[in-house]
Amino acid sequence: MSDKKRSSLELYRLKQNIRELEAKKSFTQSTSLVTLYIPPGTQLSDISAKLRDELGTATNIKDKNTGKAVSEALRSILSRMQYLKNGENGLAIYAGITDDTQKLEYHAIVPPEAITIKDYVCDSYFHVDHLKSMIADKDELGIIVIDRGGATFATIRGKSLNIIMHKDSFVPGKHNKGGQSAGRIERGIEILAKEFYSKMALMANKLFLEDYQVSAIVVGGPAMSKDNFLQHPSLDYRLREKIYKVYDVGYTGVQGIRELLVRAEDDLHDYGLIKERGLFQKFLEELSKDSGKAIYGEGPVRKALEHSAIDVLLFSEGIEIVHVKIECSSCGKQFLEATTKPDIPLLETKIKGTSCPNCKANSLAIVSQQLLIEEFEKLAIETGATIEVISTGHEDGLTLLNTFTGIAALLRFPINW
Ligand SMILES: [Zn+2]
């Protein structure tokens, strides 16, 4: 797995690509769309040799049109092989004649994680499931439940719970025996308990900073125990920073983890999105403070970007605004129009039946189109702003989309409008 984490924007783009590829079908439903998964470490010359073999057999395909389409797809890949580089994550390549464009399409994708299957398939659709598995909920949540009797460590990814380990402390419980030695025994027990918390703090550091890539951690336990643990100097500050919430829980072990998950349900049902929600809550907080550091709407955000005032731009994945440039080929006049990606074919049909407002000729055509997020990305790079693409799969994401136009920003400093 690559250690370089893709930004939310890159993942968003990949998600879009995959969605588009997934929707494509081969023309005439023939099995002529080529999917090629190349794992890292594979020699591209070997792949080329394999494709040339396939090209040889493609001529034997009974249906002549299918055979021709497969050959064209293979040739388009072969002609690009010398320009490709097989990097640490490998490559996914798609080629073929699709029903929507009726033209030969070629797509090469560098995946966010290493490709683990070597595959060559001809089908009536592109195979994207392996890529999809890479963008599924990846963020893992670390869980610790602890009391003086023991500690349990676990992670959740998606909906699956993985218990990593349970450690019993073997620290005797508090007892009520009286007598002269009672105080001394109690002190001894306290020392043992402290040692146990120290060991568990070191264990937590190792598990959640080295062994498991968790994006956040929740901690549960009886009031005193978890505080003793959380305040322990052995606990790494980087681990402390990952602690998202702390809950009162009466047990450890699997039972304790289950109890914690019930208590944390409202907070964690989309734990992979904790960061997004945190940003959105910050946005709401600034907005309610009226600090001038929270803005929303396409116009204000664009202006703030131009003033280099944006720290983080929150862009809803539900926004598919595209700015389209329409040109009249007779008089050369250009018009700008905003639409959404799915509506582009509709707009194309519309302008075909529309005459130029300037010269009245029937010669309008779309000459370029740019996604709003791409425009913003360019401005963001120039001004040092970060773009976070916010999912619509949780309540805050929906509020961003429905109440705040899907485009909002946290500013470095308030600007005068
Ligand atoms: Zn014109």
**Residue-level pLDDT at 61:** 84
Q: Is the dihedral of CA 377, 380, 381, 387 positive or negative?
A: negative
Q: How far is the CA of 346 from the centre of ligand 1 (A)?
A: 21
In the listed set 269, 292, 323, which residue is the last one of a domain according to the structure?
A: 269
Q: What average pLDDT score do residues 133-141 get? A: 72
Q: How far is the CA of 349 from the centre of ligand 1 (A)?
A: 17
Say which CATH number the domain at 60 has.
3.30.960.10
93 and 160 co-located in one domain: no
Q: What is the pLDDT of residues 279-289, one digit of tens each?
A: 888 899 999 99
**Residue-level pLDDT at 178:** 59
409 and 365 co-located in one domain: yes
Q: How far is the CA of 345 from the centre of ligand 1 (A)?
A: 21
Tell me which residue of 198, 392, 378, 194 sits closest to 276, measured CA to CA: 392
In the listed set 269, 290, 320, which residue is the last one of a domain according to the structure?
A: 269
193 and 74 co-located in one domain: no
Q: How far is the CA of 357 from the centre of ligand 1 (A)?
A: 7
Q: How far is the CA of 350 from the centre of ligand 1 (A)?
A: 16
**Residue-level pLDDT at 274:** 56
Q: How far is the CA of 327 from the centre of ligand 1 (A)?
A: 8
251 and 195 co-located in one domain: yes
Q: How far is the CA of 359 from the centre of ligand 1 (A)?
A: 4
pLDDT category at 139 given cuts 50, 70, 90 is low
Element (H, E) at 168: strand 160-168
Say which CATH number the domain at 169 has.
3.30.420.60
Q: How far is the CA of 330 from the centre of ligand 1 (A)?
A: 5
- In a domain, residue 1? The reply is no
**Residue-level pLDDT at 175:** 60
Cβ count within 10 A of residue 185: 14
Q: How far is the CA of 333 from the centre of ligand 1 (A)?
A: 6
Q: Write down the mean pLDDT value for the chain.
A: 87
325 and 250 co-located in one domain: no
Q: How far is the CA of 356 from the centre of ligand 1 (A)?
A: 5
Q: How far is the CA of 340 from the centre of ligand 1 (A)?
A: 24
Query: Does position 238 have pLDDT exceeding 60, yes or no?
Result: yes
**Residue-level pLDDT at 4:** 43
Query: Does position 198 have pLDDT exceeding 90, yes or no?
Result: yes
**Residue-level pLDDT at 2:** 35
Domain count, the chain: 3
Distance CA 118, CA 58 (A): 20
Element (H, E) at 190: helix 182-206
**Residue-level pLDDT at 160:** 64
Q: How far is the CA of 362 from the centre of ligand 1 (A)?
A: 8
- In a domain, residue 371? The reply is yes
Q: How far is the CA of 352 from the centre of ligand 1 (A)?
A: 13
- In a domain, residue 412? The reply is yes
131 and 155 co-located in one domain: no
* Tokens, residue 130: 């392996």
The pairing of beta strand 160-168 with beta strand 150-157: antiparallel
296 and 316 co-located in one domain: yes
Q: Which residue has the tokens 């907070």?
A: 267
Q: Which residues, including other chains, have CB under 8 Å from residue 267's CB and lie 6 or more apart?
A: 218, 244, 245
**274 against 19, higher pLDDT:** 19
Q: How far is the CA of 334 from the centre of ligand 1 (A)?
A: 8
101 and 157 co-located in one domain: no
- In a domain, residue 100? The reply is yes
Of 10-14, 325-329, 381-385, 390-394, where does mean pLDDT reach its minimum?
390-394
In the listed set 217, 242, 269, which residue is the last one of a domain according to the structure?
A: 269
Query: Does position 45 have pLDDT exceeding 60, yes or no?
Result: yes
Q: How far is the CA of 260 from the centre of ligand 1 (A)?
A: 67
Q: How far is the CA of 141 from the centre of ligand 1 (A)?
A: 58
258 and 295 co-located in one domain: no
- In a domain, residue 207? The reply is yes
Q: Please give the single-letter amino acid code of residue 233.
A: P
- In a domain, residue 76? The reply is yes
301 and 412 co-located in one domain: yes
- In a domain, residue 3? The reply is no
Sheet bearing 364-371, strands edge to edge = 334-340, 321-328, 364-371
**Residue-level pLDDT at 40:** 93
104 and 145 co-located in one domain: no
Q: How far is the CA of 321 from the centre of ligand 1 (A)?
A: 26
Say which CATH number the domain at 338 has.
3.30.1330.30
* Tokens, residue 262: 């019930």
Q: How far is the CA of 197 from the centre of ligand 1 (A)?
A: 78
Q: How far is the CA of 210 from the centre of ligand 1 (A)?
A: 64
Q: What is the pLDDT of residues 378-405, one digit of tens each?
A: 999 999 999 998 888 667 888 999 999 9
Q: What is the pLDDT of residues 242-270, one digit of tens each?
A: 888 899 998 888 889 888 877 887 776 55
- In a domain, residue 2? The reply is no
Q: How far is the CA of 364 from the centre of ligand 1 (A)?
A: 7
Q: What average pLDDT score do residues 152-177 get? A: 79
In whole angstroms, how far apart are CA 78 and each of 29, 50, 83, 289? 24, 10, 10, 59
45 and 78 co-located in one domain: yes
**35 against 141, higher pLDDT:** 35
Q: Which residue range(s) make up the domain with 298? A: 273-417
